[in-house]
């Protein structure tokens, strides 16, 4: 069977096992001890057919864990579509996830990557996640702190990589007194154009969707997995040296000694926006996104990614890191 993936790559699974419940998951783990875990297929680049049994996590359901006058704790099963879940919370009047609108993938993979956009990351809104330990079949709940979140990192990408399968995630959301983050990118501009000075969470989400749709290709139309590279974090002293040569180079403060530089800007200024080799290339509107124009293979997209890394390093002396998982 062809493995579902947002790059639209024709990669096959020798053994495909859909998982609709924890019971099915445990049963499958009793038979297969080294699964390839698949969520929404959105944050991966598949360069070859997968010989491991592919567990496609399709658990569904949204439930209330508890609530107070100000907060609600919602548990979403791992197979819920992320964007649909975000929109569901907003339609209920809950705040917290609006900046994470229109990110492709499923709920269960969001803590793994600590997904983030427009000043908000999963670590800011996640209470805990439930998992099954692959080798012992025991259930374990990870608190936010135990997930060891960092920029596009978590314990599930580091120390415990390959040891746990996330089955659900619980989020702490606001019911009132929403803390909205509107300072990033073109958010204020879009809100201003719409005559909105005090947005609701849903109005902020709508603005972010508009911005993302203007820059990012729909994977159903043009294969991609969103941002392919992490925004590099560099020392302020190194940034200031670059600023002497490139006065317009943007940055976002990280701490007293480091700043984050937009990878898209570095790729664009390396002359690579719109670069294409065969059916693999850099998107013409957003240099952070690599695309499959139709018949590219995973190896060809990876070759473009490595070429981008080489060019940016040669021009700026900055080493880009992949945000996506390469298989």
CATH 3.90.78.10 for domain 223-326, yes or no, is: yes
Structure tokens at 318: 């900055």
Long-range contacts of 145-150 (CB under 8 A, 24+ apart): 147/111, 147/114, 147/123, 149/111, 149/114, 149/121, 149/122, 149/123, 150/114
Domains 62-174 and 223-326 share a fold: no
Of 42, 154, 205, 227, which is the active-site residue?
227
Of 98, 130, 202, 323, which is the active-site residue?
323
For the chain, give the number of residues: 327
pLDDT on residue 215: 85
The question of whether 256 is a catalytic residue gets the answer no
Q: Are 111 and 126 in contact (CB under 8 A)?
A: yes
Neighbours of 185 (CB within 10 A): 16
Q: Is 107 helix (H, G, I), strand (E, B) or coil?
A: helix
| CATH number of the domain located at residue range(s) 62-174 in this protein | 3.30.465.10
pLDDT on residue 184: 83
Of 152, 160, 168, 300, which is the active-site residue?
152
Spatial distance between the Cα atoms of 56 and 58, rounded to a whole number of angstroms: 6
pLDDT on residue 297: 97
Residue 22 class from Cβ within 10 Å (0-12 exposed, 13-18 middle, 19+ buried)? middle
Residue 106 class from Cβ within 10 Å (0-12 exposed, 13-18 middle, 19+ buried)? buried
Spatial distance between the Cα atoms of 318 and 309, rounded to a whole number of angstroms: 9
Q: Which helix (H) or strand (E) holds 132?
A: strand 126-133
pLDDT tens digits for the chain (327 residues)? 899 999 999 999 999 999 999 999 999 999 998 999 999 999 999 999 999 999 999 999 999 999 999 999 999 999 999 999 999 999 999 999 999 999 999 999 999 999 999 999 999 999 999 999 999 999 999 999 999 999 999 999 999 999 999 999 999 999 999 999 998 879 999 999 999 999 999 999 999 999 999 988 999 999 999 999 999 999 999 999 999 999 999 998 999 999 999 999 999 999 999 999 999 999 999 999 999 999 999 999 999 999 999 999 999 999 999 999 999
The question of whether 212 is a catalytic residue gets the answer no
Q: Which residues pair with 164 in a beta bridge?
A: 133
**DSSP H helical ranges for 94-169:** 110-113
Whole-model pTM: value is 0.91
Spatial distance between the Cα atoms of 223 and 324, rounded to a whole number of angstroms: 14
Q: Are 45 and 225 in contact (CB under 8 A)?
A: yes
Spatial distance between the Cα atoms of 59 and 96, rounded to a whole number of angstroms: 23
Spatial distance between the Cα atoms of 211 and 196, rounded to a whole number of angstroms: 15
The question of whether 227 is a catalytic residue gets the answer yes
C-alpha to C-alpha distances, 324 to 1, 53, 70, 238, 309, nearest whole angstrom: 23, 21, 36, 26, 14
Domain boundaries, the chain: 13-57, 62-174, 223-326
């Amino acid at each position: 069977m062809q493995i579902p993936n947002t790059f639209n790559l024709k990669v096959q699974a020798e053994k495909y096992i859909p998982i609709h419940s924890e019971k099915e998951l445990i049963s499958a783990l009793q038979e297969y001890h080294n699964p390839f875990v698949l969520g929404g297929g959105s944050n991966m680049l598949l360069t070859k057919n997968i010989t491991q049994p592919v567990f496609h996590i399709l658990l569904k359901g949204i439930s209330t864990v508890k609530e107070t006058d100000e907060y609600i704790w919602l548990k979403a099963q791992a197979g819920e579509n992320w964007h649909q879940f975000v929109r569901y919370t907003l339609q209920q009047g809950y705040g917290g996830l609006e900046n994470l609108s229109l990110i492709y993938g499923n709920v269960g993979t969001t803590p793994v990557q600590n997904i983030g956009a427009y000043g908000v990351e999963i670590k800011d809104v996640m209470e805990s996640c439930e998992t099954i330990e692959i080798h012992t079949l025991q259930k374990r709940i990870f608190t936010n702190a135990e997930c060891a979140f960092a920029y596009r990192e978590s314990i599930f990408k580091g120390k415990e990589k390959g040891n746990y399968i996330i089955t659900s995630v619980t989020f702490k959301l606001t019911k009132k007194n929403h803390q909205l983050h509107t300072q990033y990118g073109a958010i204020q501009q879009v809100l201003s154009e719409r005559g909105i000075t005090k947005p609701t969470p849903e109005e902020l989400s709508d603005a972010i969707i508009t911005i993302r749709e203007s820059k990012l290709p729909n994977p159903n139309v043009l294969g991609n997995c969103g941002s392919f590279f992490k925004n590099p974090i560099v020392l302020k002293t190194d940034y200031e040296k670059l600023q002497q040569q490139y006065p317009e180079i943007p940055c976002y403060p990280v701490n007293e000694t480091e700043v984050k530089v937009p990878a898209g800007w570095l790729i664009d200024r390396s002359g690579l926006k719109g670069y294409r080799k065969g059916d693999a290339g850099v998107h013409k509107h957003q240099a952070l996104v690599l695309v499959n124009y139709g018949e590219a293979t995973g190896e060809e997209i990876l070759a473009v990614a490595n070429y981008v890394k080489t060019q940016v390093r040669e021009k700026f002396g900055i080493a880009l890191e992949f945000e996506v998982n390469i298989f």
